[in-house]
Amino acid sequence: MSSVADAYFERLYAECDDPWAFRERWYERRKRALTLAALPRDRYRTIFEPGCANGELSVLLARRCKRLVCADTSAAAVELARRRLSRDSNATVQQARLPQDWPEGEFDLIVFSEMGYYLDRPDLLKTIEHMRASLTPNGSLLACHWRPRIDGCPLLGDEVHALLDQHLGMTRLIRHEEADLLLEYWSRDARSVAEKEGLREEVS
């Protein structure tokens, strides 16, 4: 099964500006809270969020970094995200289909949320190559995905995370697993939050 085509997403946005009910569902609001709480650093220099959809998570990430780069393959989603981020001067939104339209520059953090299962295995592996090449020497990646099968998607969320763990070549610092979702955080800096703040000996 090939990566999901752009037409699929355009059809969704033609029917509704919030096709996954990001604003309404407690599941989605709680997941955003979990995502932000899982970030071990208070602030990042540059964050890249591929598959930003209508920008509900993006506005929260913008508060945690100096510069936020968002991207989505859907023109409708890009327009919605730009409106949502119109007051955030540190954020830019671009239309891009991964893996071929990877943005230039380096990132301290990539937030890969609810996107990996739309890619087939070759496209996901190419995307992981781009991730590795564009992360800074102490860069990190947070991934969060729905675990049940989605009709028309080439991969399961668990398969996405297994490939990330296998090919990123980074230390996994966090794994949060539920029946519905899997959230993991990998970093080139293997130190814990307490170690970074010099607290490990006091805590132990």
Do 31 and 144 touch, CB atoms closer than 8 A? yes
Residue 21, SS3 per DSSP = coil
Q: Which 8-state DSSP code applies to residue 121?
A: H
**Boundaries of every domain in the chain:** 6-203
Taking alpha carbons only, the member of 56, 71, 65, 111 closest to residue 89 is 65
Q: Could you please state the CATH topology (level 3) that the domain comprising 6-203 is classified under.
A: Rossmann fold (3.40.50)
Cα 189 to Cα 204: distance, rounded to the nearest angstrom: 21
What are the φ/ψ torsions at residue 136 (nearest 5 degrees)? -65, 170
Whole-model pTM?
0.94
Q: Are 169 and 129 in contact (CB under 8 A)?
A: no
Alpha-carbon Rg for the chain, nearest whole angstrom, is: 16
Rounded-to-integer distance, Cα 85 and Cα 58, Å:
8
For residues 197 and 105, what is the distance between their CA atoms, to the nearest angstrom? 28
Would you write out the chain's pLDDT as a tens digit for each of its 204 residues? 899 999 999 999 999 999 999 999 999 999 999 999 999 999 999 999 999 999 999 999 999 999 999 999 999 999 999 999 999 999 999 999 999 999 999 999 999 999 999 999 999 999 999 999 999 999 999 999 999 999 999 999 999 999 999 999 999 999 999 999 999 999 999 998 999 888 876 444
Residue 109: closest CA among 77, 139, 87: 139
Q: What is the pLDDT of residues 85-117, one digit of tens each?
A: 999 999 999 999 999 999 999 999 999 999 999
- In this structure, the number of other CB atoms found within 10 A of the CB of residue 95 comes to 16
